[in-house]
Amino acid sequence: MSIRWSLVIPVKTLVAAKTRLAAATGPHRTALAVAVAGDTLSAALASAPVARVIVVTADPAAAGPLAELGAVVVPDPDRGLNTALRAGAAHAVRLAPGDAIGALQADLPALRAAELATVLEAAAEFDQSFVPDALDIGTTFYGVRPGLPFTPRFGGESRARHLAGGAKELTLEGIESVRRDVDTPDDLRAAIALGLGPRTAEVVRRLRLSDA
């Protein structure tokens, strides 16, 4: 029987989200952050190995729309990203102690369910594993097999910290959408080239219309 996964997605308070995109997105920045998180969540829920997605957030403006899309929403303890992830993981263990637990960044607007499934199937072979971001500096996914300690090391140069912590780096072909997080205008252009989810695509369309 294949391993099932609970995924934890942290969503920042929207006023703090995507600040590096502020100049490019103007009044649409908050809408973009919600859209990107929504597309990430929808793709994750559509991925075959995923049993549930737990969103950790302190922002009701994000919590409502993401709950409507099918997320289990839990409050952010507001003590940093990794603490938020551990809070989500603890809730996942209470819901389904026999499932593997993964942390997934919320800013993957081109995420494909099949590519995430490829990652999760590979991750099921290792006690702990991770996927580096497109720049090979950060991390977009970290996961552990059922019953094992969940010790995420996100933030900054997290690829090096996950390696140092003994996690297996998953270097797989054909998972570009899992690695393409979006923090800057260049990142967004790269995600557009991969193909955006529908919510993000609509906000980008509005951005282009406002620039015209």
Q: Is 88 a member of any domain?
A: yes
Give the sign of the dihedral formed by CA 199, CA 205, CA 209, CA 212.
positive
Q: Is 38 a member of any domain?
A: yes
Tell me how many domains the chain contains: 1
Q: Is 43 a member of any domain?
A: yes
Residue positions forming the annotated binding site for phosphoenolpyruvate: 139, 155, 158
Per the structure, the complete domain to which residue 195 belongs is given by: 5-207
Report which of 109, 19, 9 is spatially closest to residue 53, judged by C-alpha positions.
9
Q: Is 212 a member of any domain?
A: no
pLDDT confidence of residue 208: 72
pLDDT confidence of residue 98: 97
**121: CATH:** 3.90.550.10
pLDDT 10s per residue in the chain (212 long)?
Answer: 589 999 999 998 755 555 656 555 566 778 888 999 999 999 999 999 999 999 999 999 899 999 999 999 999 998 999 999 999 999 999 999 999 999 999 999 999 999 999 999 999 999 999 999 999 999 999 999 999 999 999 999 999 999 999 999 999 999 999 999 998 889 999 999 999 999 999 999 987 765 54
Bridge partners of 100?
A: 5
Distances in whole angstroms, Cα of residue 209 to Cα of each of 28, 196, 206: 12, 17, 5
Decide: helix, strand or coil at residue 138: coil
Q: Is 155 a member of any domain?
A: yes
Residue positions forming the annotated binding site: 139, 155, 158
Tokens encoding 194: 């991969």
Report which of 150, 130, 33 is spatially closest to residue 87, judged by C-alpha positions.
150
